[in-house]
Amino acid sequence: MSDLLRSAMSARLAKLPADLPPHNDEEDEEETDSLGPLPGSGMGPPAMPFTSPQSSKAKKLPNLAFAPISAGSFFNDAAQVAVQARSLDCRVYYTPPKFADREGTVMVCHHGAGYSGLSFACFAKEVGELSGGECGVLAIDARRHGKTTAMDAVDDSDLSIGVLVEDLVGVLQTVFPDPAVAPTLVFVGHSMGGAVVVRACPILIKEKYRVAGVAVLDVVEGSAIEALPHMHSLLNARPDGFDSVEEAIEWHVSTNTIRNSTSARISIPSIIVYQSEGRVHAYRWRTPLRSTAEYWSSWFTSLSSTFLSTPAARLLVLAGADRLDRELMIGQMQGKFQMVVVPGVGHMLHEDDPTRLAQILVEFWKRNERVTMGVKKVGEL
């Protein structure tokens, strides 16, 4: 559960093309947000109050210690995937497994509200190293996030849970169109993304995709629902914008919103957008969290029951000993899922300690994908 919520409570991608068409995103000025030669490259509240700068304030010079870092050595490829059925041009980041098609396994990662697929960059690299390349990682940018854009000026403002689930299903059916030869999938969802993956999982299983498990990162339905009435007042602690990309990165690190500066220097450039030097702030949030408020309830309502009924192995990873709601507590006593608490991290645990999370997820994958036929999987009914 997030620090914000706690405070309130007291084109198939067997191999993506090496040369991708450039973005016509002149206003972003994100030359450093790239994967080597490739283009372009929720709820994540502050850990402490912040007073929004005033227009009269002198502009802060960029701190080069927080300069953006290319994600080129963290993912193999990046591409825009046209999902015609969803009218989305979806940005994906992909490191394929060394074994092709159904012999391989891919961890499908969905970020939280306000963030992007690049929040899994350091995690992706760790997974590749720990699994010896046997596990690939596919991270997506959700609609209205990162580099995902709407096609033909279609309204993409709807972030309700059903829409986000259909988007994820559509992306995977485009990336891996034939379930018979698709790799085994392990779903990993952070906060809002956890709500998406637990609902997408049974749909894809029904479509004959092989799913080894689903992992939810740092969200518990009970705590989330109880905290929602306090969200707006707590979001006032966030700045309205930043004078530079470096300032945005520094703010996330200095407030402990992200405790790993390397990860922040990779992921943060994708969640802000350049507007103009004439504004109070040259950079604004790409997806202001306050603008998503009408969808918060849909994300978290029935999350626990949906997670517990997911027809695959289940894993809940928490940052700190957050209390479970009644359904999860009963489910844990019945052995319906595995739970791991990671110490020393905040809500962005996959960025704060990507090595530890990769160890947990690779172990989860080995236990539930590489089991002898007939052996019950962890968390399986």
Residues known to be catalytic? 191, 218, 347
With residues binned 3-state (H G I as helix, E B as strand, rest as coil), the percentages for the chain, rounded to 5, are 35, 15, 45
Tokens of 72: 């080129």
CB hemisphere CA count around 48 (13 angstroms): 7
Structure-block tokens of residue 233 = 């007042």
Give me the helices (H) in the chain, please.
3-9, 121-130, 161-175, 192-206, 221-227, 231-235, 245-254, 261-267, 296-300, 303-308, 326-333, 349-352, 354-369
- In terms of C-beta density within 10 A (0-12 exposed, 13-18 middle, 19 or more buried), how is residue 153 classed? exposed
Q: Is the separation of the CB atoms in 334 and 18 below 8 Å?
A: no
Instruction: Return d(Cα 78, Cα 13) in angstroms, integer.
Output: 10
HEC secondary structure over 315-335: EEEEECCCCCCHHHHHHHHCC
Distance CA 219, CA 145 (A): 20
